[in-house]
Amino acid sequence: MLLPKFEYHEPSTLQEALKLLSDLGGNAKLLAGGTDLLVRMKRKIDKPSHVISLARIPGLDEIVPRNGHSVTIGSAVSAAKLAGHELLSDRFTPLAMAAGRLGAPMIRNRATIGGNLVNARPAADLPPACMVLDATLKLKSASREREVLVNEFFRGPGETIIEQDELLVSIDINTPAPWSGGSYIKLGARKTLEISMVNVAVMLTLQSPDGSITDAKIALGAVAPTPVRALLAEKQLIGATPSEALFEKAGQVGVGTCSPITDHRGTMEYRCMMIEVLTKRCLMQAFERAKSWRPGR
């Protein structure tokens, strides 16, 4: 499969990239890992006349911890780097886990967090993880800069609030409170190179190892046109004493948030059943991690 012709740009500063993006308008596409864009160009879904590579822009591929209170992740950080990052695995667990389930090893070496968010596929791995971590996205254009919550970022399949001249620069996440734990579960027909049939990300915060739940976040993917937060299910959990029965109830309530479709990956009925089971399972895992939270770092 051949790529159509295009003009290639390789800016070495962010300013230069933003200038190109604003000058070229809708004729340009940003190239990060290329694992989505180049496939779409080969299939003639995207036909940009200009491709702007982000590879030479310094800092975009860095993970910067901020004194323990937050972390800044450059938009061109690869899934492999996220999955193998000790601090992310320890404190921002759903994100590291989701990155480890994205595609296959070769895809993870190229695919980036920015690309996975901006492409806004309903079944993508990283959006639900970013949603339960309450990530903030920094968007920049040649003339302005703004910060948006990831929970307000997605509009529909392949659609976000990002403007044509904007670039997603970084993802900022505050460190979860003490006694927090999270998890991510992806269900597909096979273990790798799979697009989720359902995916679930969860963060739980406890008052103390044997105390009640003070905060809960659940996000579900591949069950609606965009990844969704299961707010009603979260409400069931906050203030309650953790138990298997409670988590089961949350799973049942969580199904109400979803509007899954029947497609070749699975039926609507099967997806609903799996949302229930996987939400409960993911909550159990998050609870175990929250209980064994350790200070330091």
- Burial (CB count within 10 angstroms: exposed 0-12, middle 13-18, buried 19+), residue 160: buried
Task: Return the SS3 of 64.
Answer: strand
Residue 4 binds other proteins (CB under 8 A): yes
Check: CB of residue 126 under 8 Å from CB of residue 135. no
Among residues 18, 24, 30, 51, the one that binds other proteins under rule CB under 8 A: 51
**Cβ within 8 Å of residue 234, ≥6 positions away:** 216, 217, 218, 250
Residue 231 binds other proteins (CB under 8 A): no
Residue 34 binds other proteins (CB under 8 A): yes
Check: CB of residue 189 under 8 Å from CB of residue 154. no
Check: CB of residue 17 under 8 Å from CB of residue 54. yes
Integer Cα distance of 20 and 10 in angstroms: 10
Among residues 5, 69, 264, 294, the one that binds other proteins under rule CB under 8 A: 5
Residue 49 binds other proteins (CB under 8 A): no
Residue 158 binds other proteins (CB under 8 A): no
Residue 270 binds other proteins (CB under 8 A): no
Among residues 23, 39, 164, 259, the one that binds other proteins under rule CB under 8 A: 39
Report, in Å, the least distance between residue 51 CB and other proteins.
7
Report, in Å, the least distance between residue 47 CB and other proteins.
11
Query: Alpha carbon 91 to chain centroid distance?
Result: 16
Q: Which is nearer to other proteins, 52 or 88 (CB)?
A: 52
Of the candidates 226, 232, 224, 222, the one whose C-alpha atom is nearest the C-alpha of residue 200 is 222
Q: Which is nearer to other proteins, 31 or 133 (CB)?
A: 31
**Cβ within 8 Å of residue 44, ≥6 positions away:** 4
Report, in Å, the least distance between residue 248 CB and other proteins.
30
Report, in Å, the least distance between residue 108 CB and other proteins.
9
Residue 89 binds other proteins (CB under 8 A): no
Residue 264 binds other proteins (CB under 8 A): no
Binding site for other proteins (CB under 8 A): 1-8, 10, 31, 34-35, 38-39, 42-43, 51, 53, 55, 80, 103-107, 109-110, 191-193
